[in-house]
Amino acid sequence: MSQDPDRIFAQPLAQVPDFAFNEDVVRVFPDMIKRSVPGYPTIVENLGVLAAQFAQPNSVLYDLGSSLGAVTQALRRHVRTEGCSVIAVDNSAAMVERCREYLNGQNSMFQELLPVEVIEGDILALEFQPASVVALNFTLQFIAPHERLTLLSRIRQSLLPGGALILSEKLRFSDPQEHELLTDLHIAFKRANGYSDLEIAQKRSAIENVMKPDSLEEHRERLLAAGFSKVVPWFQCLNFASLIALP
Ligand SMILES: Nc1ncnc2c1ncn2[C@@H]1O[C@H](C[S@+](CC[C@H]([NH3+])C(=O)[O-])CC(=O)[O-])[C@@H](O)[C@H]1O
Ligand SMILES: O=C(O)C(=O)Cc1ccccc1
């Protein structure tokens, strides 16, 4: 994947535009997400391990909001269950183009990878096939809040017995002190990863209209309302967490 450093918000901008997954972001995305999301490499690597426990024979594994395919590749490497394949979906044309290149390149480097299909499309309009694993790795937070329950209900309907949804998100906290502490620590994490105060401030203003985090309680309630029977957090680093939701 591209090794370009993220300098998108390094210069002062007269007006900060809303964040979009365009060409410029795609070029620096691996660096951006690693330096911005505490625990991201651990989550991605372990998603493959988790998925291997839930994969059912002859079923589909979905990576929804696949970006450059990091999760798809982890699923393909770890799952050995008979007849499984991965479907990666993203609505950014720039992401999808680079994702296909990356995954094709991996085919020649590893043997025994699950087959994969990369679809350019809106996950809200997707016709789900019977699935054993669905990964929403930092994608639900970009879906309009009023669409979230419908999407999760449709995922729940497509999940096979023994399968799971794995949902990773940035969290907000209903307790103001907890929210402020973990937000400050996230800023410290970004600073330690080389982002300036200007970059941090401009990025925050770029994402505030397009990315709306929920609290852990809101996630749990909504997942139960969507028909999931059990919600188990398996990872948290600062204000970023990942949950397993069982059908
Ligand atoms: N309605 C939608 N339909 C399809 N894709 C969408 C939609 N809305 C947003 N996206 C896509 O969801 C992805 C979110 S990034 C996921 C990281 C990845 N999972 C990773 O583990 O590397 C998260 C982040 O950057 O913080 C982007 O590629 C969007 O184009
Ligand atoms: O950078 C942030 O503050 C985030 O919350 C995470 C993020 C990572 C990549 C794109 C958009 C948001």
How far apart (Å, rounded) are the C-alpha atoms in residues 240 and 219?
Answer: 13
User: Which ligand minimizes its atom distance to the CA of 139?
Assistant: 1
pLDDT tens per residue, the chain (247 residues)? 778 999 999 999 999 999 999 999 999 999 999 999 999 999 999 999 999 999 999 999 999 999 999 999 999 999 999 999 999 999 999 999 999 999 999 998 888 899 999 999 999 999 999 999 999 999 999 999 999 999 999 999 999 999 999 999 999 999 999 999 999 999 999 999 999 999 999 999 999 999 999 999 999 999 999 999 999 999 999 999 999 999 9
Q: Is residue 191 part of a domain?
A: no
Residue nearest atom 12 of ligand 2, based on CA coordinates: 207
Partners of 165 in beta bridges:
134, 245
Task: Tell me how far the alpha carbon of residue 82 lies from the centroid of ligand 1, in angstroms.
Answer: 28
**Whole-structure pTM value:** 0.98
CA distances from 145 to 56, 81, 162, 179, 211 (A): 31, 35, 28, 20, 9
Atom of ligand 2 nearest to the CA of 37: 6
Atom of ligand 2 nearest to the CA of 29: 9
Q: Is residue 179 part of a domain?
A: no
Domain at 158, CATH number: 3.40.50.150
Return the structure tokens found at 237: 């680093």
The domain in which residue 134 lies consists of: 40-172+211-246
Q: Is residue 133 part of a domain?
A: yes
Q: Is residue 17 part of a domain?
A: no
Binding residues for S-adenosyl-L-methionine: 40, 65-67, 90-91, 122-123, 137, 204
* Lining residues, ligand 2, CB within 6 Å: 32-33, 36-37, 170, 203, 207, 211
Is the separation of the CB atoms in 242 and 42 below 8 Å? no
Task: Tell me how far the alpha carbon of residue 193 lies from the centroid of ligand 2, in angstroms.
Answer: 13
Mutational pocket test of ligand 2: of 36, 172, 202, the residue with most ligand atoms within 8 Å of the beta carbon: 36
ipTM, 2 decimals? Answer: 0.98
Q: Is residue 185 part of a domain?
A: no
Task: Tell me how far the alpha carbon of residue 130 lies from the centroid of ligand 2, in angstroms.
Answer: 31
Domain count, the chain: 1
What pLDDT is recorded for position 173? 98
> Does residue 84's CB lie within 6 angstroms of at least one atom of ligand 1?
no
Q: Is residue 31 part of a domain?
A: no
Distance of CA 175 to the CA centre of its chain: 25
Q: Is residue 79 part of a domain?
A: yes
Q: Is residue 101 part of a domain?
A: yes
